[in-house]
Amino acid sequence: MLLKTKKLFTLISIIISLLCFSLSVWQIKRLYWKKDLIKNIENAYNSDPININTLGGDLNNFKFKKIYLEGYFLNEKNMFLGPRTNMNQVGYNLITPFLIKDNRHILINRGWVKEKIKIKNQKKKYLIKGILKEANIKNIFTPNNSIKENFWFYINIKQMSEFADLKFIDDVFLDLIESRPDEKHTVINNSMPKFSNNHLQYAITWAMLGLVFLVMNYIYNKRKR
């Protein structure tokens, strides 16, 4: 009986240790991923904008690039991404289709609004700049979008194309950082995002926990001899 208990304790300790070490390795991978993300975003905000018409192929290859484009906002097809906060107030991000000069359509995150608003459609040409970002990103905790109620939890190109009855550039959208004429309807977040990068601390914590369980197993087995 003592031998069985001893073996069971050892087995559980080893499994928990392996799990902790695996999580430590995963956090190290996340550490380098986050470093690359921060570097790409810093480079994007500090770079000169590129004309979208000079980018060929899959625009997802150009994510986190600063680009500029000319065209028209299609305000009658506005969508609302929420909930989003600004200065401790809850509201939405206004997502609007944009007709580029070459007749392609792209989704623009125009910034924060306090409530759902209707904007009169005007044939006013805009020159806008922004950061190209990847769309269709959600996790297991993200609720499903509500197409019927025009309420969105994440940017889904296929669903938004269906809602707006337009064909959008695949897999990307533009985070607006500058607009001419000025954007009067939203609060544009044109400051560089700040990211915390605590994955090294997490990796050390998981590794230490794994080591603790191995030491506990060693002490337990030594005492039971």
Going by pLDDT thresholds of 50, 70 and 90, the confidence category of residue 1 is low
Kindly state the helix (H) or strand (E) to which residue 82 belongs, with its residue range. strand 79-86
Q: How much is the pLDDT for 42?
A: 81
Using a cut of 0.85, tell me whether the model's pTM lies above it.
Answer: no
**Residue 3: pLDDT above 60?**
no
pLDDT tens-digit map of 169-215 = 999 999 999 988 887 888 877 666 677 888 999 999 999 999 998 88
DSSP string, 157-200: HHHHHHHHT--BPTTEEEEEEEEES---SSB---SPP-----HH
Is the distance from CB of 80 to CB of 92 less than 8 angstroms? yes
CA distance 131 to 181: 18
Mean predicted confidence (pLDDT) in 60-83: 90
Q: How much is the pLDDT for 4?
A: 66
Going along the chain from its start, the domains and CATH numbers come out as 16-46+196-225 (no CATH), 51-180 (2.40.50)
Biggest CA pair distance of the chain: 85
